Amino acid sequence: MIDSISSCARATTAEEARYRIDRPIAGRSARIIALDASAAQVVLRVAELPWGASKFYSDATAFDIEADLADADVAIMIATAAADAETASSIARACGERGIMTAGLVLGDLADVGDAVSALRPYARNLMVTEDEDDVAAVLIALRA
Amino acid sequence: MLKTEVNELLTQTGPGTPAGNLFRQYWLPALHIEELPENDCPPVRVKILSERLIAFRDSEGRFGLMDEFCAHRGVSLWFGRVEEGGLRCAYHGWKYDVTGQCLEVPSEPENSNFCSKVQLTAYPLVKVGEILWTYMGDPANQPALPEFEFCDVPEEQTYTSKRWQESNWLQALEGGIDSSHVSWLHSGGLKSDPLFKGTKGNEYNLNDLRPFFEVAEADGGLFVGARRNAEDGKYYWRITPYVMPSFTIVPPRGDHPVHGHFWVPIDDENCWVYTFDYHPTRALTKDERQAMKDGYGVHSRNIPGTYRPQENKDVDYLMDREAQKRGETFSGVRGIAQQDASLQESMGPIVNREKERLVSSDTGIIKARQKLRKAVEALRDEGITPPGVDPAHQRVRSAAIVLPQAESFIDSARDAVAVQPGQAHVSV
């Protein structure tokens, strides 16, 4: 039988979308690490929301690279004006060795957080500078953390 | 991942919807000027934000955009006659001016003023650049006219095309914010397209397929920086501005013209894509303009007399598996525009974002959605005017620039991403 409707025309209708396979999607195991004291408060607040396999660290010195990165998919570093570049560097280096993606969120006005952005830039493959604390949760929800 | 209720909040733009109200705060492209080329030319059907409208150009050159259907019996005014300062319904001769005001009801007595009580919903329609723009919101809040640079340069320096995309506006816009797909989907075009090829920036693009991304707030939306390695420990940055609600500019390549898009919802399952190319300091060459007309660069090759691309879903986008195998095109679809559209339409009319699996390189998309959501809610709950309405927010440029590693792309490129009349764009 010759079908007069193209494959793409048939496949892209709303009706056909109903037949997409509905396989459960596993969440990402994220490590959310505060790099300074103000960021720690943010991390503590966000950690109170319901999350999956992700873990939150309000004190970067308590982050045990060997143990805490063992089953991680992504490390997200949170900073404000005073990010600790040395900590960011050691976490990012460890992530690089383990093939773990790194991301950074710097909270504050761009004019005020330049140092933190500079500290994170070499180490966070994806970096967001934002004045909106809600973006931390938005990123984590989007990543199914 | 985006929860269904947020997805619906952002993708539904009909009358009375929160995102529809957001779009109704802005001047939006409604038609290409070529659609109403002369006074008293035929009227044109237009659908924007799920409203059926008719556009016409009267005997005095005034542009009108109003309810498509005659107030009398609801017939389409597309069949009407544009004559003597108005649009006359073909059924019983009711005549309307560009404001939607009824001027004549021929069946009424000669001295009747009944027509003064008949008014169709109408919106302003104003030419800026090669586009006819409309504002569909509260007339009391009508903002100043748009000041995007591509509309502001002399006409010999700019070119705008238009195409129909069969998907919701948001998944189309997100393609413009997500530059990580360029090195894959459009890799063929970087080597061969006459409006892209032959630049140093292309080498950086193709030599580093794992860019770092940086997203920063802008007054009107965002700047998304994609960073790749360059020589001598420097970084090559491609900076994409996003101006709310749905405007992006692609970072330039060499001295090629700069291009970008404006996505306008037709309804919730279709959108118009207005695509422009302009050069801030010189006229487009004859060859460049012809290449744009032929569907190169980010323009489409449309079916003559329509805005439907030749590579559309009904012909499987003219998929060429041999070209795909040879590497001329990565996906087998010709042209940057339809490479994007084919994949975005394959998601379905409105993609279910609960089923997606975003990664951290999608940060630009995540932030853009968040900005849209916050703007929709702030307008709905507090009446706050959204970013991007102020023309000052629109006077931004994209840039491609090589910077020392220690420098912040947004600090060092602050001048490069602002419109500087008479100065060339910053490009590599």
Q: Give A95 or B188, the one with higher predicted confidence.
A: A95
| B350 in reach of chain A (CB within 8 A) | yes
Q: Looking at the predicted structure, is the pLDDT value of residue A2 above 80?
A: no
pTM over the 0.90 mark: yes
**pLDDT score at B191:** 77
Q: What is the mean pLDDT of residues A29-44?
A: 95
Q: Looking at the predicted structure, is the pLDDT value of residue B207 above 60?
A: yes
**pLDDT, tens digit, 9 for 90 and up, residues B125-144:** 999 999 999 999 999 999 99
Distance in angstroms (rounded) separating the CA atoms of residues B76 and B88: 11
Instruction: Tell me which residue in B212, B217, B367 faces A125 most closely, judged by beta carbons.
Output: B212
**pLDDT, tens digit, 9 for 90 and up, residues B333-360:** 999 999 999 999 999 999 999 999 999 8
- For residue A20, the chain B residues in CB contact (below 8 A) are 352, 355
Distance in angstroms (rounded) separating the CA atoms of residues B320 and A22: 31
> Range with the lowest mean pLDDT among A82-96, B277-291, B386-400?
A82-96
**pLDDT, tens digit, 9 for 90 and up, residues A43-67:** 999 999 999 989 999 999 999 999 9
| B412 in reach of chain A (CB within 8 A) | no
Distance in angstroms (rounded) separating the CA atoms of residues B350 and B174: 13
CB pair distance less than 8 Å for B213 and A125:
yes
- For residue A115, the chain B residues in CB contact (below 8 A) are none
**Chain B residue with minimum CA distance to A24:** B355
Whole-Å CA distances, B323 to B191, B310, B330, B331: 14, 17, 8, 9
ipTM for the assembly: 0.93
Query: What percentage of chain A exceeds 70 in pLDDT?
Result: 98
Q: Looking at the predicted structure, is the pLDDT value of residue B63 above 80?
A: yes
Are B260 and B275 spatial neighbours (Cβ–Cβ below 8 Å)? yes
Q: What is the mean pLDDT of residues A16-38?
A: 92
**pLDDT score at A4:** 74
Q: What is the mean pLDDT of residues B188-197?
A: 84
In Å, how far from its chain's centre is CA B126? 16
Q: Looking at the predicted structure, is the pLDDT value of residue A1 above 60?
A: no
Task: Please state at what angle helix B336-346 crosses helix B169-177, rounded to 10 degrees.
Answer: 130
Distance in angstroms (rounded) separating the CA atoms of residues B428 and B424: 12
CB pair distance less than 8 Å for A142 and B315:
no
Are B108 and B5 spatial neighbours (Cβ–Cβ below 8 Å)? no
Chain A nearest-CA distance from B143, in A, is 26
Mean pLDDT of chain B: 95
- Residue B214's SS3 state is strand
Q: Give B184's DSSP letter.
A: H
- For residue A133, the chain B residues in CB contact (below 8 A) are none
Chain B nearest-CA distance from A51, in A, is 14
Q: Give B327 or B41, the one with higher predicted confidence.
A: B41
Chain B nearest-CA distance from A37, in A, is 22
Half-sphere exposure of B163 (CA within 13 A, CB side): 27
| B408 in reach of chain A (CB within 8 A) | yes
Q: What amino acid occupies position A122?
A: P
**pLDDT score at B334:** 94
